[in-house]
């Protein structure tokens, strides 16, 4: 499992330029993901923790950070694009105190949430950390 390949919409004349831009984007994802990973605390050395073992490997940690960063950027843009609908969902959950099953599915369907188009070349899509 790895981060999804970033689409830059073929806006570069040379493949080398596009690849360099893609590497910069992945580095930005990694930076965000690393900040999140650093907040998770450290593992106790006396316990066998498979996640800690993965994160102690430099290459695997970089991939995990890129994946986490990409997910964070996607979630951030999803919330921005659906702010009003998400607020309505939150208000309904607070009002009912508990929502599950078909009621939850109906609430989500009625919200008409949209998938945002994310152009990673646009600085506005990157969350301020």
Of 83, 75, 82, which is closest to residue 125 (Cα–Cα)?
75
Report d(CA 52, CA 54) in Å as an integer: 5
Report d(CA 67, CA 3) in Å as an integer: 5
Q: What pTM, to 2 d.p., does this model score?
A: 0.69
Q: For residues 48 and 128, which has the higher predicted lDDT (pLDDT)?
A: 128
| Tens digits of residue pLDDT in 28-85 | 888 888 888 776 555 555 556 767 777 777 888 888 888 899 999 999 999 999 999 9
What is the average pLDDT across 91-99?
91
116 has pLDDT over 90: yes
| Tens digits of residue pLDDT in 1-30 | 667 777 777 777 777 787 888 888 888 888
Q: What is the pLDDT at residue 117?
A: 92
* Opening angle at CA 53, ends 48 and 56, nearest 5: 140
């Amino acid at each position: 499992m790895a981060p999804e390949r970033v689409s830059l919409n073929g806006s570069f004349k040379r493949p080398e330029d596009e690849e360099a831009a893609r590497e910069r984007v992945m580095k930005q994802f990694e930076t965000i993901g690393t900040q999140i990973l650093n907040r998770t605390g450290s593992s106790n050395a006396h316990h066998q923790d498979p996640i800690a073992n993965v994160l102690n490997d430099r290459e695997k940690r970089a991939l995990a950070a890129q994946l986490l960063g990409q997910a964070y950027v996607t979630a951030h843009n999803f919330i921005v694009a659906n702010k009003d609908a998400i607020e309505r969902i939150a208000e309904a959950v607070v009002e009912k105190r508990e929502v599950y099953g078909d009621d939850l599915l109906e609430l989500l369907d009625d919200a008409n949430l949209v998938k945002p188009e994310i152009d990673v070349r646009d600085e506005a899509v990157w969350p301020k950390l």
